[in-house]
Structure 1
Amino acid sequence: MKTHPRTTPAALADAAGTRPDRLAIVDGDTRLTFAQLHTRVRDFAAALVARDIEPGARVAIWSPNTYHWEIAALGVHWAGGVVVPINTRYTGSEAAEIIERVNAAALVVAGEFLGTDRYAQFREAAPDLAVPTVVRVPVGGIDAPADGVLDWDDFLAAATDTSRTEADTRASAVGPDDISDILFTSGTTGKSKGVLSAHRQCIGVAQAWAECAELTVDDNYLIINPFFHSFGYKAGFVAALLAGSTVVPLAVFDVEKVMAMVSEESISVLPGAPTIYQGILDHPRRGNFDLSNLRIAVTGAAPVPVSLVERMQTELNFDAVLTAYGQTEAVVATMCRTDDDPVTVSTSSGRATADFEVRIGDKDEILLRGPNVMLGYLDDPEATAKTIDSDGWLHTGDVGTLDERGYLDITDRLKDMYISGGFNVYPAEIEATLLTMPGIHEVAVIGIPDERMGEVGQAFVVPLDGSSPTEDDVIAYSKEKLANFKRPRSVRFVDHLPRNPSGKVLKNVLREEKS
């Protein structure tokens, strides 16, 4: 029986050795086999070595879904480093906070993307924060990198035979328990938390996801979920690497673009939020595209109506539609199986996978335990101890039930977190930001229903005496400080916030008062 690799360098070496000519990535005109991917990754790692980046160094990646992201991430691992993904929707100040907290030795950053020069934003937000090596990913219209920034091709050209040899030595030395990545998830204390994971965990959850989705070497996997998120990264290209599937990354979501790519690249695996499938089903030009190769859909993060599952299977011809549940601290903990019926898929998030145990604790909180629970939070043992108890159970903050088959149904959240456009949003982080705005005394944020985004933020603001900020003022300030999905869409001004005797804001009262 073949043993699975337990690090990404071992997984890449295995893929390049066993299926060298199979396509690993298709990104527009760029088509790389696993052997070619291996070569590019070695060059990236060797270039890091040539820049004196040591094993264990942290490298931030702030870029959209392109083949560069996968090469950079696997290259960092090959050089013995730690990947730190940054949300492409983050502002310069949000990105700078993460870069500073991890003491990043290098930054891989997009050129102009969606009309924004992210590196310029970062430099403006943190002019005194030095990152020794900055590599520009050529995804936009900027003609040349800024001073001190290396163009992608120029950076790769720095690889030498000597640095490749050193990189290969480091790759061989990477162990299952070595840190593979630090993924930041917004915290309920108002400050984001860095989730530490080991290579064995990155591989473990990816392997489990690939097995539940029944990924094969014949699959072409369109990855819409962003690579900076564990869904696009670990359940995305790492899962594909293990299964030998072809990754087709999508940098910017557009329904018609998705249908065109499904048709042109014979996409068989298409995970994403329920709104993606609804958009395809309702699109007036759906009949113009060949979607017949679709096989597996994996969704979650929002309720999935039975009718949608049935339409996906009958009108889009999916063999199976799966739902899953996880969080950054556990990645994927439960998942449906391909033989589950539409009602099970619609009303549950599947059963345990990736060697997780699942149980329901006090106040019906979902608890998880297993080898793939995070190692802990970066530089925050107190928060780690609050989240993982002495018996090893991860307290998710989500409320749910388990049926007699072990299938999990998520019914509520203990936390105030809401989901906007598929992204988790934590009001405490928004509140902490808005409290820095002149003229604001108190603020509380809740999620309210939105037809397009699922939920959006509504801020309740108590102005300082003598101040009179407007809704436009608050929203404009949030645009400067917060990523788009975090920004409140509406503001209500109140004389005071409702509180209980201990002083905690009663957000249930605010939800009843929402406009």
Structure 2
Amino acid sequence: MRLEAHYNDRVVRCFENRPTSLYQLLVDAQAKNPKGIALVCEDKRLTYTQLLQASTQLAGAITSKGIVAGERIALMLGNRIEFIVVLFAAARIGVISVPLSIRDQKPGFAYALAHCGARAVFHEADLSALLPDAKEAPDLTYRISMQSCAGSDSYEQWTAIDHASTITQVAEEDTAVILYTSGTTGRPKGAMLTHLAIVHSSMHYQIGMGLTTQDCSIVTVPLSHVTGLIALITTMVLSACKLIVMPQFKAAVFLKLAVEEKMTHTLMVPAMYNLCLLEKDFGKMNLSAWRVGAYGGAPMPVATIEKLADTVRSLILMNCYGATETTSPATLMPQGETVNHNDTVGIALSCVDMCVVDDQGIQLPSHEMGEIWIKGPMVVKGYWNNPKATAENFIAGYWRSGDLGSMDEQGYVKVLDRKKDMINRGGYKIYTIEVENALYEHPSVQECAVVAKPCEVLGERVHAFVSLRSSPITDQELKTFCQSRLSDYKVPESFTFLQTPLPRNANGKLMKRLMRDEITALTTGKSS
């Protein structure tokens, strides 16, 4: 490793010998393992040579439409092989990919597509009605559907003709991918993942999990999420090994695939491990190839850790911690240390600098709680077209995580709380103000506050306290109202209706802690 200067204000530790771009990962993988299986999705299988060929052909089609390096194409796609083909096709010609969650709704899609100035969108046919019109997204020239769909070209049309494409040389600091991440204002911010960041995060995962061409993983999380994109797609391609793509997670199907494909490692949220344990035949399955079970996004209950260790003796569990802004991992549990440090998220990775600071940004001693700041080549360079948010969230090369935590003398990091009112539903992070803004659009809602409700499986669920105007309303009516405005996992699952104003302190600030304590006591019999 060596120190390098990047992004004007950052001096960071970097791997000296590394691929130079996202696309180079695929080129190297094909050279290393040309006949090896790269991707499996249901009845489809692609070797690394076939993946390279498919990406090259699609890159030619994109180029033929006049889309050039630095411009953006969006991916409104579920978990499918075509997602990965589009990603590497764009990377080949220096075009920026913008994956969007298919669980979003029309206003969210319209905002992201307009904000990033996407020239084209590859989309699922059943999402066509959610695409914005020309007035909402004036730069959006091409719509490409995975199946025949009115108003869109078909993916088959775009890939039917061979078009020449040459590899566009990119700089490591160029943006490769934009991922939108919600902020406390409810307006999404487009985190700019560079080639430098993606390569370093992929190398961190590869080294931490000891991956080789012989490994196999199953992607159970959305490919549009930073975990699916980095921990699974790019890390697997860097390692030139096999990735099984599940369109959606079902524990029984996952376990069947794990046995058949001799899965060696995973990265899932704890809720998925819990669902596997609930399968009646789990203990009878031959999962002897499964050696690494990484998890993140939420704490793993001790009971789950113990039960997994008893059932799958070959399995090493590893907690990891990161965010979209860190291009996924910032910490990883050293192999074999989960039992000794199961209340932590592990230690900072090789190229990562972490510190815990007070409200003035002054570094705190070991074990003292403060805000976690993170620096390294894998930290994004900022937010797309949002200099204000970039200036607020990135200081002296560090990204301010907004998470409260501490670090011990050995470097083990504890994440103790959230600085902002965020709900963690099975690894999906939900900002309460976004849900509250949706609720406030309903005419019967006088005021509202959204808090986390404890859940043994998902960790937390969304609960809303609502003070009504004179007209009554039911839980289901409010849920239906929110479903047209929010991603499904953000919709409140339970409500407390009040005829009185919500509790506030002397300064008029909502006392969410009181409401959180109330719902926690009702759910668990304990206060939070």
CA contact (8 A) 1:183 1:328 kept: yes
In structure 2, the residue matched to 1:461 is: 466
In structure 2, the residue matched to 1:325 is: 321
In structure 1, the residue matched to 2:163 is: 160
1:361-420 Cα distance to aligned partner (Å, 9 max, x none): 11611111222222112222222222122x222211111121221011111111110111
Q: 1:448 to 1:306 in 2, by over 3 A?
A: closer
Q: In structure 1, give the amino acid aligned to 2:512.
A: K
CA contact (8 A) 2:297 2:426 kept: no
CA contact (8 A) 2:176 2:195 kept: yes
Distance 2:301 2:474 in 1: 39
Q: Displacement, 1:128?
A: 5.3
Q: In structure 2, give the amino acid aligned to 1:454.
A: G
Q: 1:341 to 1:450 in 2, by over 3 A?
A: closer
Which of the residues 91, 104, 108 maps onto 1:94? 108
| 2:297 is aligned with 1:312 | no
Q: Displacement, 1:287?
A: 5.0
Q: 1:81 to 1:400 in 2, by over 3 A?
A: same
| 2:153 is aligned with 1:150 | yes
In structure 1, the residue matched to 2:339 is: 342
Distance 2:449 2:235 in 1: 39
CA contact (8 A) 1:269 1:294 kept: yes
Matched ranges for 1:58-73 at <5 A:
58-73=72-87
Q: Displacement, 1:83?
A: 1.1
Q: In structure 1, give the amino acid aligned to 2:87.
A: A
Q: In structure 2, give the amino acid aligned to 1:252.
A: Q
CA contact (8 A) 1:306 1:342 kept: no
CA contact (8 A) 1:297 1:318 kept: no
Q: Displacement, 1:443?
A: 2.0
Distance 2:318 2:23 in 1: 29
In structure 2, the residue matched to 1:399 is: 404
The CA RMSD over aligned residues, in Å, is 2.0
In structure 2, the residue matched to 1:235 is: 231
Distance 2:61 2:144 in 1: 11
Q: Displacement, 1:97?
A: 1.8
2:158 counterpart SS class: helix
CA contact (8 A) 2:120 2:142 kept: yes
In structure 1, the residue matched to 2:143 is: 134
1:270 counterpart SS class: strand
1:332 counterpart SS class: strand
Q: In structure 1, give the amino acid aligned to 2:163.
A: T
Distance 1:152 1:317 in 2: 44
CA contact (8 A) 2:267 2:296 kept: no
Q: In structure 1, give the amino acid aligned to 2:222.
A: P
| 2:200 is aligned with 1:204 | yes
Q: Displacement, 1:357?
A: 0.9
Q: In structure 2, give the amino acid aligned to 1:442.
A: E
Q: In structure 1, give the amino acid aligned to 2:335.
A: T
- Which range moves more in the overlay, 415-424 or 275-284? 275-284
Which of the residues 75, 98, 116 maps onto 2:89? 75
Q: Displacement, 1:126?
A: 8.2
Q: Displacement, 1:91?
A: 1.8
Which of the residues 480, 483, 495 maps onto 1:479? 483
Distance 2:350 2:122 in 1: 31
1:232-290 Cα distance to aligned partner (Å, 9 max, x none): 10111100111111111111110110011011111111221122222222311225643
Q: 1:422 to 1:86 in 2, by over 3 A?
A: same
Distance 1:241 1:180 in 2: 16
Q: Displacement, 1:354?
A: 4.9
Distance 2:310 2:284 in 1: 17
Distance 1:290 1:246 in 2: 19
Distance 1:377 1:454 in 2: 29
CA contact (8 A) 1:333 1:354 kept: no
Distance 2:473 2:302 in 1: 45
Q: In structure 2, give the amino acid aligned to 1:24.
A: A
Q: Displacement, 1:203?
A: 1.0
Distance 2:290 2:404 in 1: 33
Q: 1:499 to 1:382 in 2, by over 3 A?
A: farther
Q: In structure 1, give the amino acid aligned to 2:478.
A: V
CA contact (8 A) 2:61 2:158 kept: yes
In structure 1, the residue matched to 2:444 is: 439
In structure 2, the residue matched to 1:371 is: 377
1:422-474 Cα distance to aligned partner (Å, 9 max, x none): 2000001111222222232322211111234321111222334x444433322
Unaligned runs of 5+ in 1: 112-116, 139-143
| 2:40 is aligned with 1:26 | yes
Distance 1:150 1:24 in 2: 27
Distance 1:376 1:343 in 2: 36
1:185 counterpart SS class: strand
1:74 counterpart SS class: helix
| 2:389 is aligned with 1:383 | yes
1:153-179 Cα distance to aligned partner (Å, 9 max, x none): 211124423xx2xxx242xx1221110
Q: Displacement, 1:221?
A: 1.1
Q: In structure 1, give the amino acid aligned to 2:201.
A: V
2:108 counterpart SS class: helix
Which of the residues 403, 422, 426 maps onto 1:421? 426
In structure 2, the residue matched to 1:141 is: none
Q: In structure 2, give the amino acid aligned to 1:153.
A: E
In structure 2, the residue matched to 1:510 is: 515
In structure 1, the residue matched to 2:363 is: none
How high is the TM-score relative to the length of structure 2?
0.89
Distance 1:180 1:379 in 2: 15
1:187-223 Cα distance to aligned partner (Å, 9 max, x none): 1112111111211101111111111011111001111
In structure 2, the residue matched to 1:107 is: 121
How high is the TM-score relative to the length of structure 1?
0.91
Aligned residues: 493
Distance 2:456 2:484 in 1: 25
Distance 1:288 1:313 in 2: 14
Distance 1:134 1:69 in 2: 15
Q: Displacement, 1:502?
A: 3.7
1:277 counterpart SS class: helix
Distance 1:508 1:341 in 2: 31
In structure 2, the residue matched to 1:54 is: 68
Matched ranges for 1:150-299 at <5 A:
150-161=153-164, 164=165, 168-170=166-168, 173-286=169-282, 289-299=285-295
Q: Equivalent pairs: percent with the same residue?
A: 27
Distance 2:29 2:145 in 1: 28
